[in-house]
């Protein structure tokens, strides 16, 4: 043999990424198959009841999903993430999953694992997912079901998880740190690390609802950890502490606070990936659902959204002086959950300031010993 | 899997992979299990590999493909045949092509 003809690469090392980035190609997307879920977690930003007829009627059909996937593949997408709500609640999930795989996409699935059946296992064994990401709501039945608010869900979760693990399917576990499970978050970490040695992460910051439901938003606020609880938790987790410290060095960018423009977006939103909601609404990122920032793929094309709509959104500006004097020039913005999308979810304004985020960011800065000027 | 690549045989891309052109580069994404070592891997072909791959139409045998490439690239057929055998051996081993 004169040479090696094929180069095998893990997707993250793929040399095409650089060229794709330069050309603003699309390399991945997330599709929310449904907003419905069989659980009823209080902290959830999207869930609607499993039997919600209107929500079901709004969902994209398989051909509509395949059409969007075809367009994404034409833009270069290599990786797709299927999520929900709970994506397995849709009986046509296997058709969607296999359809996406057959388009030459690496496919990840985010699920609560409670609806995994032997048929799913056969499907995943024959056509392996990139990974299955599962959220662990509690390490004991009591805590799990306090969070999921559905009796029987813990046993269903354990059954689903074990089916996946026994079949050797790549599983990654993660958790949300919230009031209802904070007392056993270490146990959840141990549980998760026992199953996925190389991967476990927890998220202590809850987003508000995409549908702005005030009663549900109140429930989310009640589940939110206090800034002190978040900092204590992060400091006790070696990996997370390191990540924050590293982020603190690299992300507290002097040029961010010194660039004197009034653009709203300074993050990577709309660069390389996108999200499609259950009803076919295109979003630049998961949390950005302000009406001026979404595009209906049922009546337009992905190409148009990618080439014309994204640049328009990214060019949005503000003259709100309060914002321009605070968050816009904030030197600790990288320790903060603040971004236009989250600001909108919290305040109804893309340039709103969020007291809770501010308190978390300052508590983090203090814990990391950051003493620079802070608004 | 031991397999002697024969220039007189016809090979075609396996149904267990999806070959895609991304920004002018040919990439091979495993579809079914057993291809590659992890689920996270994709494959690219170098230029020679790509030229050969594009001619695996499920009808033309490797010797014919070598002849057409030799004409197109003005290269000695013997050398091209060796390249083809190398590539097909590698792809067959990875279960990315099948002998028709
Ligand atoms: S299981 Fe997930 S999607 Fe369902 S309610 Fe809980 S957080 Fe939401
Ligand atoms: S909310 Fe506070 S900490 Fe966060 S970016 Fe704005 S000013 Fe900075």
Mean pLDDT lowest among A29-38, A119-128, A256-265, A351-360: A256-265
Q: Note the pLDDT of residue A14.
A: 63
Residue B58 covered by a domain: yes
Domain boundaries, chain A: 21-225+269-316
Pocket test for ligand 1, best of A36, A40, A41 (most atoms within 8 A of CB): A41
Phi first, then psi, for residue B17 (nearest 5°) are -130, 165
Look at A8 and B43 and tell me if their CB atoms are within 8 Å: yes
- Which residue, among B38, B37, B64, B65, has the nearest Cα to B51 in the 3D structure? B65
Rounded to the nearest angstrom, the minimum Cα separation between B49 and chain A is 6
Percent above pLDDT 90 for chain A: 73
Q: Do A7 and B38 touch (CB under 8 A)?
A: no
Q: Distance between CA atoms of A229 and A177, rounded to whole angstroms?
A: 10
CB spacing of B46 vs A131 below 8 angstroms: no
The answer on pLDDT for A56 being more than 90 is: yes
CATH number for B84: 1.10.10.1150
Closest CA to B6 of B99, B68, B80: B99
Please tell me the distance in Å from A284's CA to the nearest CA on chain B: 22
Per-residue model confidence (pLDDT) at position A13: 63
| pLDDT value of residue A347 | 95
In chain B, which residues have their Cβ closer than 8 Å to the Cβ of A170?
38-39
Confidence of residue A267 (pLDDT cuts 50, 70, 90): confident
Which pLDDT belongs to residue B48? 83
CA distance A368 to chain B (A): 35
Per the CB < 8 A criterion, the answer to whether A137 and A41 are in contact is: yes
The confidence score (pLDDT) of residue A174 equals 93
Three-state DSSP class for B64? Answer: helix
Q: How far is the CA of A35 from the centre of ligand 1 (A)?
A: 9
Torsion sign, CA atoms A305, A308, A311, A314:
negative
Considering its fold, how many domains does chain B have in total? 1
Instruction: State the residue range of the domain holding B93.
Output: 11-99
Q: Which of B9, B7, B49 is nearest to B27 (CA)?
A: B49
Q: Which of B29, B40, B82 sits opposite A2 (nearest CB)?
A: B82
Is residue B80 one of the residues assigned to a domain? Answer: yes
| pLDDT for residue A253 is more than 60 | no
Q: From chain B, pick out residues whose CB is under 8 angstroms from the CB of A11.
A: 40-42
Q: What is the mean pLDDT of residues B9-19?
A: 95
pLDDT at A12 over 70: no
ipTM: 0.90
Q: Is the CB of B31 less than 8 angstroms away from the CB of A20?
A: no
Mean pLDDT of the region B74-92:
90
Where does the pLDDT of residue A1 fall: very low under 50, low under 70, confident under 90, or very high at 90 and above?
Answer: very low
- CA dihedral angle for residue B36, residue B39, residue B42, residue B43, rounded to 10 degrees: 0
Ligand 1 proximal residues by C-beta, below 6 Å: A 37, 39-41, 44, 47, 84-86, 112, 135
The pairs formed by B58-61 with CB atoms below 8 angstroms and a separation of 24 or more are B58/B10, B58/B12, B58/B100, B59/B10, B60/B10, B61/B7, B61/B8, B61/B9, B61/B10
**pLDDT higher than 70, residue A249:** no
- Model confidence pLDDT, tens digit, residues A154-187: 999 999 999 999 999 999 999 999 999 999 999 9
Q: Where are the beta strands (DSSP E) in chain B?
A: 11-13, 17-22, 25-30, 41-45, 97-99
Q: Is A111 exposed, middle or buried (0-12, 13-18, 19+ CB in 10 A)?
A: buried
Option in B23, B36, B48 nearest A5 (CB)? B48
Smallest Cβ–Cβ distance between A16 and the set B22, B52, B89 belongs to B22
Mutation to test the A interface, candidates B19, B25, B31, most A Cβ within 10 Å: B31
Tell me which residue in B18, B22, B33 faces A125 most closely, judged by beta carbons: B33
- Give me the architecture of the A21-225+269-316 domain, per CATH: Alpha-Beta Barrel (3.20)
Rounded-to-integer distance, Cα A158 and Cα A291, Å: 39
Beta-bridge partner residues of A176: A203
Most confident range (mean pLDDT) of A14-28, A194-208, A223-237 is A223-237
Average pLDDT over residues A345-366: 94
Is position B2 within any domain?
no
The pairing of beta strand A6-10 with beta strand A36-37 = unpaired
């Amino acid at each position: 043999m004169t040479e090696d003809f094929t180069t095998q690469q893990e997707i993250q090392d793929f040399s095409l990424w650089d060229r794709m980035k330069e050309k603003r190609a699309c390399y991945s997307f997330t599709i929310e198959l449904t907003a419905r879920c069989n659980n009823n977690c209080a902290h959830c930003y999207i869930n609607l009841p499993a039997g919600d007829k209107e929500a079901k009627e709004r969902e994209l059909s398989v051909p509509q999903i395949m059409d969007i996937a075809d367009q994404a593949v034409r833009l270069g997408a290599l990786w797709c993430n299927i999520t929900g709500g709970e994506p397995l609640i849709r009986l046509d999930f296997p058709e969607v999953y296999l359809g996406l795989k057959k388009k030459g996409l690496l496919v990840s699935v985010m699920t609560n694992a409670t609806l995994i059946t032997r048929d799913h296992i056969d499907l995943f064994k024959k056509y392996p997912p990139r990974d299955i990401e599962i959220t662990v709501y509690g390490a004991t039945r009591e805590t799990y079901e306090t969070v999921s608010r559905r009796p029987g869900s813990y046993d269903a979760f354990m059954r689903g998880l074990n089916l996946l693990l026994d079949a050797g399917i790549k599983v990654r576990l993660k958790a949300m740190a919230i009031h209802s499970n904070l007392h056993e978050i270490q146990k959840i970490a141990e549980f998760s690390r026992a199953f996925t040695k190389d991967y476990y992460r927890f998220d202590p910051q809850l987003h508000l609802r995409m549908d702005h439901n005030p009663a549900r938003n109140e429930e989310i606020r009640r589940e939110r950890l206090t800034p002190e609880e978040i900092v204590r938790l992060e400091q006790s987790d070696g990996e997370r502490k390191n990540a924050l410290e590293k982020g603190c060095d690299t992300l507290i960018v002097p040029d961010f606070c010194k660039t004197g423009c009034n653009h709203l977006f300074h993050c990577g939103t709309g660069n390389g990936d996108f999200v499609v909601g259950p009803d076919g609404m295109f979003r630049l990122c998961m949390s950005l659902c302000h009406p001026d920032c979404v595009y209906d793929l049922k009546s337009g094309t992905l190409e148009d959204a990618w080439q014309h709509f994204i640049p328009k959104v990214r060019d949005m500006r503000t003259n709100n002086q309060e914002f321009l004097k605070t968050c816009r020039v904030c030197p600790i913005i990288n320790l903060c959950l603040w971004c236009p999308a989250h600001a909108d979810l919290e305040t109804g304004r893309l340039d709103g300031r969020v007291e809770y985020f501010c308190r978390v960011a300052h508590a983090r800065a203090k814990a990391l010993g950051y003493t620079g000027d802070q608004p | 899997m031991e397999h002697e690549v024969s220039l007189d045989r016809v090979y075609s891309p396996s149904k267990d992979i999806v070959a895609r052109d991304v920004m002018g580069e040919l990439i091979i994404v495993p579809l079914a299990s057993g291809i590659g070592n992890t689920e996270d891997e994709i494959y690219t072909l170098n230029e020679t590999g790509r030229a050969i791959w594009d001619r695996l139409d499920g009808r033309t045998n490797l010797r014919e493909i070598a002849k057409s490439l030799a004409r197109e690239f003005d290269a000695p057929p013997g050398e091209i045949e060796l390249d083809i055998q190398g590539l097909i051996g590698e792809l067959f081993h990875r279960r990315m092509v099948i002998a028709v």
